[in-house]
């Protein structure tokens, strides 16, 4: 009886999760049809729009960044660049980090409630989840989330949803995301005006430089550990 009840709960969460996914898809379709999606991908048009918001501009940046993470197809990069161009690297970073953290937490929670909580009742998956609940696995999962936040070419959205499907503790995810997203957010907002006015080749050079800067500490640490153990 208890097992049947657990399965019923699991399927209920799967069904509700499907409705949430459908709702997000409909929202994305509406944004696309209304032209808002095109504006979100155009740095100069978005910059003008944010300036028109006036006092509400910072809140708009936070909401747009969070929405771009929850709705994965929406690009968050242009929004971060505009935040830096309009508000400067310090305030721009604060707004981008706030939006990124909020969006990541929502994405993580959606996957945790409607994915992991349903999946953990399935006997075939339970042994793997038990392994990932161990302290060492938790540390590795937290490190993976942190490292992924430092790299601008790894999907921020996908990592947030994927982390929610694992037993990674919520506080570990939130801390790893917050600490990891600050450096790349600062660099993007710092180069905001440069990106918006630069030609595509120059933009690519700066993007590669940003990725190299954020990956350098990790690469040096791995090399040191290999040298020490070898």
Digit-coded pLDDT (tens) for 181-221: 998 888 888 877 666 555 555 555 555 565 555 555 555 55
| Residue stretches of the chain with pLDDT short of 50 | 1-2
Supply the pLDDT for residue 174: 95
Distance from C-alpha of 94 to C-alpha of 107, rounded to nearest angstrom: 20
pLDDT of 57: 92
The pLDDT score that the predictor gives to residue 199 is 53
Exposed, middle or buried by CB within 10 Å (0-12, 13-18, 19+), for 84? buried
pLDDT at 106: 92
- Report CA dihedral (45, 80, 74, 142) to the nearest 10 degrees: 180
The pLDDT score that the predictor gives to residue 107 is 92
Q: What is the pLDDT of residue 12?
A: 67
Structure confidence at residue 56 (pLDDT): 93
Distance CA 151, CA 135 (A): 25
Distance CA 169, CA 112 (A): 10
Q: Nearest to residue 188, comparing CAs of 80, 90, 60? A: 80
Look at residue 230 in the predicted model and tell me its pLDDT: 57
Q: Look at residue 144 in the predicted model and tell me its pLDDT.
A: 85
At 29-45, the pLDDT tens digits run: 666 666 666 666 667 77
């Amino acid at each position: 009886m208890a097992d049947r009840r657990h399965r019923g709960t699991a399927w209920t969460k799967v069904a509700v999760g499907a409705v949430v996914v459908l709702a997000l898809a409909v929202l994305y379709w509406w944004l696309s049809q209304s032209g808002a999606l095109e504006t979100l991908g155009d740095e100069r048009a978005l910059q003008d729009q944010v300036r028109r918001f006036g006092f509400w501009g910072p809140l708009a940046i936070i909401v747009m960044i969070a929405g771009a993470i929850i709705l994965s197809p929406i690009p968050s990069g242009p929004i971060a660049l505009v935040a830096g161009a309009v508000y400067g690297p310090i305030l721009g970073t604060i707004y981008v980090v706030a939006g990124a953290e909020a969006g990541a937490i929502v994405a993580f929670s959606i996957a945790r409630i409607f994915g992991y909580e349903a999946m953990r009742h399935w006997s075939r998956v339970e042994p793997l989840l038990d392994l990932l609940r161990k302290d060492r696995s938790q540390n590795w999962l937290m490190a993976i989330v942190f490292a992924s936040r430092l790299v601008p070419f790894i999907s921020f959205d996908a990592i947030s949803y994927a982390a929610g499907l694992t037993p990674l503790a919520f506080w570990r995810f939130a801390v790893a995301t917050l600490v990891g997203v600050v450096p790349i957010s600062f660099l993007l907002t710092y180069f905001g005006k440069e990106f918006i006015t630069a030609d595509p080749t120059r933009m690519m050079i700066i993007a590669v430089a940003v990725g190299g800067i954020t990956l350098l500490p990790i690469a040096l640490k791995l090399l040191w550990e290999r040298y020490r153990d070898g």
